[in-house]
Amino acid sequence: MALITKIREKSGIAAAAIAVSLILFLLGSDIFQGKSRFFGGNSDEVGEIAGESISSKDFQNKVEEASKAYSAQTGRGPSEQELAMMREQVWNQYILDFAYGKEYEALGLSVSPEELVDMVQGNNIHPSVRQQFTNPQTGQFDKNYVIQFLKNLKSMPAAQQQAWANFEKSLGQDRLRSKYESLLRLSTYTTNIEAQKDYQAQTAKADVQYLYVPFYSIADSTIKVTDSQLEEYLAKHKDLFKGENTRSIQYVTFPVIPSKQDTASFYNDIKRLAKDLAVAKNDSAFAMMNSDVKTPYLVSLAEVPAAVKTQLGSMIAGGIYGPFKENNVYSIYKYGGIQKDSLFTLRASHILIRPENTSDSSKAAARKRAEGIMAQIKGGANFEALARLNGMDGTAQQGGDLGFFKNNGSMVKPFEKAVFGFSGAGLIPGLIETDFGFHIVKVTEPKSNTRYKLAAINRTIAPSQATMDEVLRKADNFAAANTSAEAFDAAVKKDKNILMLRAERMLEGSSNVNNLTNARDIVRWAFNDDTKVGTVSDVFQNDNQYIVAILTNKTSKDEVKVADYRDELTARVRAELKAEQIINKLGGISGSLEQVAQKYGAGALVETATDITLAQGVLSSAGADPTALGKAFGLKVGQKSKPFKGEQGVFIVQAVKSTPAPAIADLTMYKNSARMMAAQRASFYINEAIKENAKVVDNRARFY
């Protein structure tokens, strides 16, 4: 039953994991910024994919189906964050069905029932199935376990059967995507000329001397950039500046902080609860009823809060202790003594050394390495440092820390037996061998089966309703009194206690505004057609604060303006003007590079680079400047270039020495490398092509 429950609960996660590769193209932000048909079209349309319209009713029905399935599996309704994930999954499914589905159909791609069976219980088990039916104790996949599960499937509840059906569907979609990508990936090839170019770029070397005048040698303040120059640059480089539907706002926040009266009332409440807890007949039940944050009554030493742990030795049964403060939570405890448990708990760290494979020689090599590390630790070396350097599992970054665990089978048997058979704390003197490899183990907290009875009342200090109403009144007054951009700015400057923040280029589907989470109401206000630049909002409530915002800028996917990229455009135009100024000055100077630099004056550098390659050449001050490298390899020995603009400055390059790439008869290695690189890029290019072809219009942000 444990595995059945796991499949039931995890199938959605497994399906989502498989779907990640299928929806990679959603990462391209422009897919979300398509021209909305919400206006001037069907207002009930959530979106359009590959010519297929998606109505809000159909979309919401699918979301509700997913929500019901989730509730049936977990016994509770989804949170708002989980609902947002469900909407994303439903949208992704439409992408697969419409955009990818038409591509599969055009090519005649499909997954047969026999192929699906083979993935689940045949000779080519899908990795997700293998993961679900792997024994956590042995780490081995058991096909018989799958077959037995499927035999019992019809007798399981409908929710479990549906979960498995969804899981199988995701397997088929993953296989279809794999077939499609493989088909296109196999169409990529590398010519001999391409391989020869790669070989030359990696092998041919050159020594160069160059004069470099960085742009930063000229103060920005001396270069005036006009709007007409920015407009001209944007017009010539439209391909570099893609349009996006974004909004920018400024906002002020009015935090709701407990007043002195709230704090005094809170402490009086804590004192009263402490007295009542002291005489409560059922102290654990009383504590649970009066706690904002519920904690267990019986806890191991590992679970005892740090502040309480320091006082355990002096605590008396029936005594009241506290309050202890952690963040905004205050806790008082009634100590009830100890109780012995049937299970032990301890804390340990380990360094895992895995064999490369299952051969005896590989195991022997791993053992020898582990023994060497063990010897270093016994000689005084730091365990945690060696764990970070040598550990071969996810605990390495934490210095090998495994945290607290019990002797309840959560660890593999050889490991658990050795660790819980060790007395006290410290390094276990011998290696522990398991199916995972060889473990060097240090017990950091000795085993204990003592449980502490702690009836805890945890209360969060919070502002009263009167305090909240007072802060809301201030926020309302601010919004009502400052309805224009001028008034808004003046009010912020006048009141030094008001904190003004900016949120630049928000996307329409955003849920957060800077560090404000669950801020969809602010984003939707900013994107509302009635919200013009300069409009001041009403008051928004966000957790423990009130927000008043003003819209400061809009950008559109269909109309790119200078204002959308002013800072970047200004930097680029300024660099061109600096380059022109530097080149004009250098053009009138003759002589060697040293002489030219001396005559140019401050800012000119003369440097030498040896044994550089076209593929990986780096120039000392200028870095990896592709333009300069290209010029260097295009010159004959002794030849000097004219001044030219690089990435971050102006160059004059002179070739000193050239070492051609040796003749090579077999370019296979370079062809294979280039082919592999092309194959790795294939998925991205496929996604981009399908994305563009599907003409995706996403209006979900108008509804949620």
Q: How many of the other CB atoms lie within 10 Å of CB of 65?
A: 13
Tokens of 113: 């029932």
pLDDT digits (tens, 9 = 90+) for 670-683: 888 888 887 777 77
Confidence label for 188 from pLDDT (cuts 50, 70 and 90): confident
Q: What pLDDT is attached to residue 617?
A: 86
In this predicted structure, the answer to whether residue 350 has a pLDDT above a threshold of 50 is: yes
pLDDT digits (tens, 9 = 90+) for 230-243: 999 999 998 899 88
Peptide bond into 323 cis (omega under 30): yes
- Tell me the CB-side half-sphere exposure of residue 482, using CA atoms within 13 A: 25
Question: What is the C-alpha to C-alpha distance for residues 514 and 283, in angstroms, rounded to an integer?
Answer: 44
Contact 506, 246 (CB under 8 A): yes
Confidence label for 443 from pLDDT (cuts 50, 70 and 90): very high
Contact 692, 25 (CB under 8 A): no
- Quick one: average pLDDT of 479-500? 91
- Tell me the CB-side half-sphere exposure of residue 411, using CA atoms within 13 A: 24
* Edge-to-edge strand list for the sheet holding 205-214: 605-612, 205-214, 649-659, 644-645
In this predicted structure, the answer to whether residue 37 has a pLDDT above a threshold of 60 is: no
Q: What pLDDT is attached to residue 26?
A: 35
29: closest CA among 409, 507, 424, 648?
507
In this predicted structure, the answer to whether residue 22 has a pLDDT above a threshold of 80 is: no
**Local structure of residue 343 (DSSP, 8 states):** E
14: closest CA among 126, 180, 98?
126
In this predicted structure, the answer to whether residue 437 has a pLDDT above a threshold of 50 is: yes
- Quick one: average pLDDT of 610-633? 91
Q: What pLDDT is attached to residue 19?
A: 39
Q: What pLDDT is attached to residue 85?
A: 87
In this predicted structure, the answer to whether residue 2 has a pLDDT above a threshold of 50 is: no
pTM of the model: 0.56
DSSP string for residues in 29-40: GGGGGSPPSSSS
Q: What is the dihedral of CA 215, 216, 219, 221, to 10 degrees?
A: 80
pLDDT digits (tens, 9 = 90+) for 234-267: 999 988 998 888 999 999 999 999 888 888 889 8
Confidence label for 517 from pLDDT (cuts 50, 70 and 90): confident
Confidence label for 658 from pLDDT (cuts 50, 70 and 90): very high
Q: What pLDDT is attached to residue 689?
A: 86
**What is the percent of the chain where pLDDT is above 90?**
47
pLDDT digits (tens, 9 = 90+) for 580-599: 999 999 998 999 999 999 99
Confidence label for 137 from pLDDT (cuts 50, 70 and 90): low
**Quick check: helix, strand or coil at residue 354?**
coil
Confidence label for 27 from pLDDT (cuts 50, 70 and 90): very low
pLDDT digits (tens, 9 = 90+) for 393-421: 889 889 999 988 889 888 999 999 999 99
- Quick one: average pLDDT of 175-182? 88
**Quick check: helix, strand or coil at residue 8?**
helix
**Average pLDDT, rounded, for the chain:** 86
Q: What pLDDT is attached to residue 367?
A: 94
Q: What pLDDT is attached to residue 636?
A: 94
Q: What pLDDT is attached to residue 329?
A: 85
pLDDT digits (tens, 9 = 90+) for 302-347: 788 888 888 888 899 999 998 888 877 889 999 999 989 888 989 9
DSSP string for residues in 116-183: HHHHHHSSS--HHHHHHTB-TTT--B-HHHHHHHHHTGGGS-HHHHHHHHHHHHHHHHHHHHHHHHHH
Q: What pLDDT is attached to residue 138?
A: 67
Question: Domains of the chain (ranges plus CATH)?
Answer: 2-186+696-701 (no CATH), 205-243+565-659 (no CATH), 246-257+464-555 (3.10.50), 258-462 (3.10.50.40)
Three-class SS string for 280-318?
CCCHHHHHHHCCCCCCCCEEEHHHCCHHHHCCHHHCCCC
In this predicted structure, the answer to whether residue 159 has a pLDDT above a threshold of 80 is: no
Question: What is the C-alpha to C-alpha distance for residues 345 and 400, in angstroms, rounded to an integer?
Answer: 18
Tokens of 60: 């919401």
Q: Tokens 């108008």 belong to which residue?
A: 702
Largest CA-CA distance found in the chain, in angstroms, rounded: 99
Tokens of 236: 């010539």
- Tell me the CB-side half-sphere exposure of residue 265, using CA atoms within 13 A: 13
Contact 416, 407 (CB under 8 A): yes
